[in-house]
Each structure stands twice: as structure tokens, then as C-alpha cells.
């Protein structure tokens, strides 16, 4: 009985999370706008406790800021925030890719190819939500292969806090397909055990993601960062 109650609570929490995430990503909730607890409580027919739990989760993902005695407000990211996040992302993941080349097995590389084929299908279908989840699996594979617990922790904390930016970048027209093409070249570098090339490609991958997000479209400057090495 307790287990069923916990499962219902978890399912409800996930529904609240999805509702708020979707509203923010679609623009229905705008940066700086307050997310009202009473409206959500009435909509889902629940107390405010699970809503506050969802708010804390969304705050950790970079969607909301919870202000004491005022409530939850949609986070507003500046261009500087975007530039700084993707700069750090490129350095950390690039280093992870270089280290991974020393440890990656043929089986690991086959897993990467398998994951990227799933991403290719999702990109054709335009399924951003599932693409984002599987995209994380791709990066997790080579980051874990770097075999550096402190590095993994740093990257995971950073990715969690800026989840909203990453989804926004992947949601832009054509971005998912380009990501799959970038991954193909990264996998080739891993297969050749070319750490320098793997690092360069992964760093350019992150730089391109930040560039298209700042532009909001694929402009000339962004195109120059495509992985044609």
C-alpha cells in the first residue's frame, strides 16, 4: 500500500515537472514570471507539498528560482550566462573525451554507435524530449570512460543546473540532425584512439550548441563552427 502511494506521488510529481518545463520551453511562462502554487494545486487537486518539491527540482535544473516568501520565478539567462556555461562545458567534456580515448574499449565504441543510431531516428521524427534523454546517454558513456570521479561530478552538476539551456539548443531547427553528424565524427576519433581529435571535436560540439542558442537560428557565424575537421 505504501509503495503504491509513493508511486502515485512520484507520478504526480513528474506530471507537475513536465507541465512547468513544457510551459517554460514553449514560452507560455516567460523569464521573470511567477509560477503560482495555488493555480497548480487547484489544477492537480493536491496540496502544495508536492508542488514545492517539484519547484526545488526545477530550481536545480535551471528552470526556476525559488525566492523566500515570494515563491517561484522563471529564471532569465543572459547571453553571458550562455557563453560561460558552454565555455566551461567545452573544456570539461573535451578533457573527458581526451582521457576516454585511453580507456575506451571496442564494446564502448559500439555502444556509442548504437546510441547515435537511436538519436538519428529521433532527430528524423523531431522528438526533442526523447532525443535529449538519449543524448545524455551518449555523453555519459565517454565521460564515464574518462575514469575521473571528480571530473564526472563536476560535469554532472553543471549539466543539471543548465538543463534548460541544453534542451533549448537542441530544440532549434536542424540542431538534432547536426548533433548526430557531430557524434559520428567524435566516434570515429574514439575508434582511432585519437585523443587530440576527440577533444577538439567535443569542444567544437559544445561551442556550436552555445552559438546557435545565442543566435536563435543557424547563422553564418554558427555554421563556421560545424565539425568539418
- What is the residue range of 121's domain? 79-223
Domain of 49, CATH number, reads 1.10.10.10
Q: What is the pLDDT of residues 111-154, one digit of tens each?
A: 999 999 999 999 999 999 999 999 999 999 999 999 999 999 99
* Same domain, residue pair 162 and 208: yes
Average pLDDT (72-100) is 94
Which of 187, 81, 201 is CA-nearest to residue 142?
A: 187
Say if 228 falls within a structural domain.
Answer: no
Contact between 177 and 84 (Cβ < 8 Å): no
Residue at a domain's end among 42, 74, 106: 74
* Same domain, residue pair 153 and 173: yes
Contact between 57 and 21 (Cβ < 8 Å): no
Q: How many domains are contained in the chain?
A: 2
Say if 159 falls within a structural domain.
Answer: yes
Kindly state the cell numbers that stand for 113: 554507435
Model confidence at 227, in pLDDT bands (50, 70, 90)? very low
* Same domain, residue pair 147 and 64: no
Q: What are phi and psi of 80, to 5 degrees?
A: -65, -40
Tell me the C-alpha distance between 154 and 88, whole Å.
Answer: 10
* Same domain, residue pair 24 and 114: no
Instruction: Tell me the pTM.
Output: 0.81
* Same domain, residue pair 64 and 83: no
pLDDT score, position 15: 87
Q: Return the SS3 of 141.
A: helix
Tell me the C-alpha distance between 111 and 115, whole Å.
Answer: 6
Amino acid at each position: 500500500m505504501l509503495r503504491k502511494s509513493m508511486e502515485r506521488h512520484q507520478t504526480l510529481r513528474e506530471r507537475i515537472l513536465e507541465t512547468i518545463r513544457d510551459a517554460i520551453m514553449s514560452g507560455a511562462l516567460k523569464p521573470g514570471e511567477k509560477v503560482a502554487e495555488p493555480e497548480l494545486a487547484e489544477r492537480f487537486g493536491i496540496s502544495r507539498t508536492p508542488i514545492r518539491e517539484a519547484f526545488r527540482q526545477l530550481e536545480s535544473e535551471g528552470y526556476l528560482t525559488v525566492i523566500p516568501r515570494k515563491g517561484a520565478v522563471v529564471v532569465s539567462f543572459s547571453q553571458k550566462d550562455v557563453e560561460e556555461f558552454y565555455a566551461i562545458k567545452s573544456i570539461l567534456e573535451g578533457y573527458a573525451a581526451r582521457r576516454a580515448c585511453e580507456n575506451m574499449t571496442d564494446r564502448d565504441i559500439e555502444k556509442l554507435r548504437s546510441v547515435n543510431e537511436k538519436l538519428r531516428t529521433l532527430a528524423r521524427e523531431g522528438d526533442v524530449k526523447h532525443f535529449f534523454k538519449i543524448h545524455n546517454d551518449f555523453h555519459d558513456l565517454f565521460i564515464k570512460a574518462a575514469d575521473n570521479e571528480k571530473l564526472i561530478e563536476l560535469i554532472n552538476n553543471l549539466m543539471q543546473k543548465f538543463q534548460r539551456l541544453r534542451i533549448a539548443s537542441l530544440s532549434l531547427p536542424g540542431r538534432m540532425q547536426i548533433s548526430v553528424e557531430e557524434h559520428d565524427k567524435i566516434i570515429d576519433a574514439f575508434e582511432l584512439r585519437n585523443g587530440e581529435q576527440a577533444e577538439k571535436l567535443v569542444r567544437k560540439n559544445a561551442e556550436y550548441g552555445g552559438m546557435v542558442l545565442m543566435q536563435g537560428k543557424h547563422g553564418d557565424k554558427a555554421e563556421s563552427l560545424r565539425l568539418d575537421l
